[in-house]
Amino acid sequence: MNRMTRLEQTTENSGTMPWWKGASIYQIYPRSFQDSNGDGIGDLPGITTRLDHVADLGVDAIWVSPFFKSPMRDFGYDVADYCDVDPIFGSLADFDALVERAHALGLKVLIDQVYSHTSDEHPWFAESRSSKNNDKADWYVWADARPDGSPPSNWQSVFGGPAWTWDARRGQYYLHNFLASQPQMNLHNPAVQDAMLGVMRFWLDRGVDGFRIDALNFAMHDPQLRDNPPAPDTGKPRTRPFDFQLKTRNMSHPDIPRFIERIRTLTDRYDAVFTVAEVGGDDAEAEMKSFTAGESHLNSAYGFNFLYADRLTPELVCSALSEWPDEEGVGWPSWAFENHDAPRAVSRWCAPAHMDKFARLKMALLACLRGNIILFQGEELGLEQDHIPFELLQDPEAIANWPLTLSRDGVRTPMPWTAQDEFGGFTTGSPWLPLSEANLARAADRQAVDPEAMLAFTRRMIALRNANPALHHGPIVTCETQGDLLVLTREAGGQRVTCRFNLGIETIIEDGRAGRVLCSVNGADGPRLPPYAALITEE
């Protein structure tokens, strides 16, 4: 089915709904997608050359992780210039070419925005730290030491250690919720908000169709700098001082939704723009709802329900879905099983011997969830988590907390395009992270000629979702669990679809069920669901 025909069918199924409601989104991590110049690092021209692969999946949009000018201490999430492309990724002209090609293929383009912090090499921070009375003196969060010289509060950094660093030039501490090289912006300042909206306007004028907003609930702090209370001991391992606190003061400030209203006012001036926030933390569900409530906030949000879960259980799925009822004023969710920060799901949720079957099961489940679905690059190939030895680690969090923190590098290894090539067709040079033999064996070229491969299965599942209004945008009518059995029922446009999943390794026999089979996964046959099988029927 060609691209334009698929889009026309989606429009017919979903009526006047915006393009993003029920959308499938493909996340691209630029460093690891495709290298065009042989330096071992992926880039924007490389992405452009591979967009046909993405469009052929049937997705609606791409989300491109940061490619802005940066010293790369946190691989682009430490921005030194919001309105320029880092030379390792190309140029603004390369970005424009990427947008043009994506649009020609019917793909929307979403990009990351990082508003909570910048790089310490950003000119704004250089000016801010130069004195206490310059034009940008309060664009970042500065505070005097306590009488004994200690930091202004007990707040801890996500990456380990205090969230405050002393700066002799100002004779004050500055806040950083992440790396010390990522100073916290003061979003309470209207001038800082204006600057960030100007950044958003810059990219909208270049043709982007929306934004994924990073760590939005870190965007504002408690101006009184009150200490965080201790977190109760849940019995889970604590790998960082950050884990010992309830983050009630250095994040989740109640004024964040007011800034979001300004974002929405701007994006409403542009046609069909989509905004989605990343929201993690102790009270993520409440914040996601606050950030997306009504028609004056963001379009969607996604949290960490699945991204760090040790197991995929029916109860986990129903619990997550229950937070987003189909009710007036409740926002629209987005879901991801993997991303650039979270380990590959097949490596978390099943034994190695079951990876191939499980990859199909979880793709079928993702396609049946109400909300938008986000695939991380390589998920369509069934890639597993790569092991990166300590001496090859690039991830600053993993290096700082080794060996207790699972490295993010294992999910960021390069895309394998060509099985016969040493570096998977990703680069002609030496890749910035190594590729494993296991994932090279799953290369796109090898799967492209196999109609039973994971790649073909992913295309079928996205096509199934797009062709059936109940799966694409219908509400959840029921979500039921019984042991390892998960049963979802969805309805829309007079259609009722039931999705049954066996999330365990023992065969399940149900009572006889009627209905036209839309999809059978891993040998599901009527009432019989073998291990990791799924059956999707129209009733």
Catalytic site positions: 214, 278
Rounded CA Rg of the chain: 23
Cα 33 to chain center, whole Å? 16
Q: What angle do CA 200, 8, 295 make, to 5 degrees?
A: 40
Residue of 268, 257, 122 whose CA lies nearest to 187? 257
Distance CA 424, CA 426 (A): 5
436, 386 contact by CB (below 8 A): yes
Cα 377 to chain center, whole Å? 11
Instruction: Note the residue count of the chain.
Output: 539
Residue of 90, 88, 92, 183 whose CA lies nearest to 138? 183
Count of C-beta atoms within a 10 Å radius of residue 231: 14
Alpha-carbon separation of residue 328 from 307, 386, 494 (angstroms): 28, 43, 20
Instruction: Record the tokens describing residue 20, joined without a space.
Output: 């993003």
Residue of 331, 430, 504, 512 whose CA lies nearest to 38? 430
CA 247, 248, 250, 251 torsion-angle sign: positive
Distance CA 312, CA 309 (A): 7
Largest CA distance in the chain: 75
Distance CA 379, CA 365 (A): 13
Residue of 353, 452, 511, 463 whose CA lies nearest to 55? 463
SS3 13: helix
**Element at 536 (helix H, strand E):** strand 534-538
Q: What's the per-residue H, E or C state across 157-190?
A: CCCCCECEEEECCCCEEEECCCCCCCCEECCCCH
367, 461 contact by CB (below 8 A): yes
Instruction: Record the tokens describing residue 98, joined without a space.
Output: 């990427």
Alpha-carbon separation of residue 153 from 216, 225, 419 (angstroms): 21, 6, 52
Residue that the structure tokens 């940008």 belong to: 136
Instruction: Record the tokens describing residue 267, joined without a space.
Output: 């994006």
507, 530 contact by CB (below 8 A): yes
